[in-house]
Amino acid sequence: MPKFFAHPSALVEAATIGAGTRIWAFAHVMRGAVVGPDCNIGDHAFIEGGTVIGRGVTVKNGVCLWEGVTIEDHAFLGPCSVFTNDLLPRSPRAPSAADRYAGKAWLVKTRVCEGASVGANATIRCGVTLGRYCMVGAGSVVTRDVAPFTLVSGNPARVMGRVSMEGRRLRRAGGKWVDPDSGRLYRFRGDEILECPK
């Protein structure tokens, strides 16, 4: 007996759904997808075989995830955020695209690291890595890697600031960044995180 919940209208063909995960109305999780425990998969979401999703991930309504997309633990994928796995797609049914889709060389992977948040209706171009606990603003188009704990926004998305693990804007304090609520400190060097609360 499965230990996850699926709404009666959901289609769950994958064999590997973690305990405590809930899959809501009209969602479709295909064979070969891996979904960890304690996730929440919203209405009308689509998860293709070859997608890998960790523990405690929130996949909001209407999100499509594809082969080659990896979502690490506790990430948040906002409603109608869109992922891709082909930089220059053609219809595989076009004769001129037969060579392109004979193998898998067209497939470009995407990684959403632990705790990262993708805003509603954001578009993530394949090939990027969204760093730990970064945040992508709603409606943004991400075309390059996003550093950990970094807020990006716009089309193309640009750095707008830093955010805490808990989802608060950080303020600069000398060479460090501070969460004004908790007082906890973060330190960065370029795109690298040197110090953060554990």
- Single-letter amino acid code for the residue at 95: P
- By beta-carbon proximity to a second copy, the closer residue of 105 and 175 is 105
Q: Which is nearer to a second copy, 176 or 184 (CB)?
A: 184
Residues 29-58 that bind a second copy (CB under 8 A): 38-40, 42-44, 46, 55-58
Q: Determine the Cα–Cα distance for residues 172 and 161; give it in Å rounded to an integer.
A: 9
* Residues 156-185 within binding reach of a second copy (CB under 8 A): 156, 163, 165-169
What is the smallest separation between the CB atom of 77 and a second copy, expressed in angstroms?
9
| Site map 64..103 versus a second copy, x via CB under 8 A | x--------xxxx-xxx-xxx---xxxxxxxxxx-xx---
Q: Using DSSP bridges, classify how beta strands 171-173 and 176-178 pair: parallel, antiparallel or unpaired.
A: antiparallel
Interface pick for a second copy out of 32, 49, 107, 141 (rule CB under 8 A): 141
- CA–CA distance, 110 with 29 (Å, rounded to integer): 19
Please identify, using beta-carbon distances, which residue of 34 and 57 lies nearer to a second copy.
57
Least separation, in Å, of the C-beta of 71 and a second copy? 10
Q: Minimum CB separation from a second copy for residue 157, in Å?
A: 9
**How many C-beta neighbours within 10 Å does residue 65 have?**
29
Q: Which stretch binds a second copy (CB under 8 A): 152-160, 170-178, 185-193?
A: 152-160
CA–CA separation, 53 and 39 (whole Å) = 9
Of 118-126, 172-180, 186-194, which part binds a second copy (CB under 8 A)?
Answer: 118-126
Contacts with a second copy, residue ranges (CB under 8 A): 9, 11, 25-26, 28, 38-40, 42-44, 46, 55-58, 60-62, 64, 73-76, 78-80, 82-84, 88-97, 99-100, 106, 115, 117, 119-123, 125, 135, 137-141, 154-156, 163, 165-169
